[in-house]
Amino acid sequence: MRTLVNVSTTTQAQSQPFNGLLALELTGGNAPTRAALSQHQAGELAARMARDLAQLVPQVAQLDLVLFAAHFDPAEVLRPGWSLHRRLHELQQRAPGREEGPRVIAFGGGEDGQVPLPLRSDADLAGGALRVLPFQLIGPAEVVDQVAQACESVLLERGMAQADTALMAQQGFGAEIEHARYLTLHDLAAMMAMQYEHQGLAPLWPVIETALLAPQEEQWLDAPPEPLLRYAEGEVRIALLDAAAWQARNAPGTDDHERLARQYEYFLARQRQLAAVLEAHGIPVTFAHCPSADDVCAQLSA
């Protein structure tokens, strides 16, 4: 697995921000009743998070902490370009008080319950047992680098949020939380890779990883009986095979028509499943019609 890198926003004074997450492991199978905290609650939660993190890594106190006080599915964070964290950095750049020392900056929903677009999670991805709140640590390059190295070492093993932080998240979001812990992007990616392996989606992870970490590269999933697909230039093309082309590629010489029909239906369902996972990660998907097995690769490379 490649090592995750953070969003590049390098200047003479600042390095890349450290991108982190507060992960909420839910219990009871019940989704949180509120998508985002109020602005006042967001500020209180961010202050407690800054305290927690500084106790784990003291240099955190020298940096700005910027928080989206809204919960998202992990796939919404693990998207090419790290759009949620990039948006946090854009908002931090516009916040007042940049010359007044380290700040705690939080963004919440409206007092009327309305959730602004940067904080609005994808309703189609609700219902998972893990929800994450993105945050950034921003400041002088040397300090950010030290904090990033320390966080990669300590958060996964010792990064449990303190009890009052977890309780505030539980009450604010209307959620039943079993654990609240701090993670790096690398930690989250490793967790997702393991989860996908348990769900039978391990063959797809190298494609997602390439889109996240090396978007200029090319990656194929070419492992029959899996669907055939190719990642290149920011999108995935999936070979759309009719029944005859599928049989020629996956089951040559078989003449059990009922069995072939069942296997082909499973193949189509598997295509839809892989496409849905890719799209959840913000990776565009197109289907390339391949009328014969012979020209499958040519169609995906077009």
Q: Are 42 and 126 in contact (CB under 8 A)?
A: no
pLDDT at position 96, please? 85
Q: What is the pLDDT of residues 125-171, one digit of tens each?
A: 998 999 999 999 999 999 999 999 999 999 989 999 999 999 999 99
Q: 144-153 pLDDT, tens per residue?
A: 999 999 999 9
Q: If you average pLDDT over residues 256-279, what whole number do you get?
A: 95
Which stretches within 72-127 are classed as H helix?
74-77, 83-94
Mean pLDDT of 84-88: 95
All structural domains of the chain with their residue ranges: 18-198, 202-301
65 phi and psi, to 5 degrees?
-110, 125
- C-alpha pair distances (Å), 237 with each of 130, 212, 213, 293: 29, 17, 19, 16
The conformation of residue 253, written as its DSSP 8-state character, comes to T
Q: Token pair for residue 178?
A: 């079993």
Answer whether CATH 3.30.750 is correct for domain 202-301: yes
* Strand (E) or helix (H) holding 132: strand 130-138
pLDDT at 124 over 70: yes
- Distances 10 to 25, 39, 53 between C-alpha atoms, Å: 33, 29, 23
Could you identify the residue written with the tokens 């609005």?
120
Average pLDDT over residues 183-191: 96
- Residue labelled with tokens 């496409």: 275
Give the pLDDT confidence score for residue 127 in this predicted structure: 87
- Percentage of the chain with pLDDT > 90? 75
**pTM for the whole thing?**
0.90
Q: What is the CA radius of gyration of the chain?
A: 22
Calculate the average pLDDT of the chain: 90
Distances from the Cα of 146 to the Cα of 99, 229, 287, angstroms: 22, 40, 45
User: Does pLDDT of 274 surpass 80?
Assistant: yes
- What pLDDT score was predicted for residue 1? 40
Q: How far apart are CA 198 and CA 205, in angstroms?
A: 12
CA angle 90, 192, 199 (to 5 degrees): 145
pLDDT at 301: 67
Q: Is the pLDDT of residue 113 over 70?
A: no
- Sheet with 104-107, side-by-side order of all strands: 104-107, 64-68, 130-138, 18-26, 177-184
**In contact, 56 and 120? CB cutoff 8 Å:** no
Residue 220: Cβ-neighbour burial (10 angstroms; 0-12, 13-18, 19+): middle
Residue 70: strand pairing partners: 36
Q: Residue 72 in contact with residue 121, Cβ under 8 Å?
A: yes
Give me the amino acid identity at 298.
A
More confident residue, 111 or 150: 150
**How long a stretch of residues is the chain?**
302
Is 162:52 a contact under the CB 8 Å cutoff?
A: yes
pLDDT digits (tens, 9 = 90+) for 221-250: 999 999 999 999 999 999 999 898 899 888
Environment class of residue 55 by beta-carbon count within 10 Å: exposed (0-12), middle (13-18) or buried (19+)?
exposed
Instruction: Identify which of 279, 33, 20 has the alpha carbon closest to the alpha carbon of residue 132.
Output: 20
How confident is the model over 79-87, as a mean pLDDT?
95
User: Tell me, what's the pLDDT at 293?
Assistant: 60
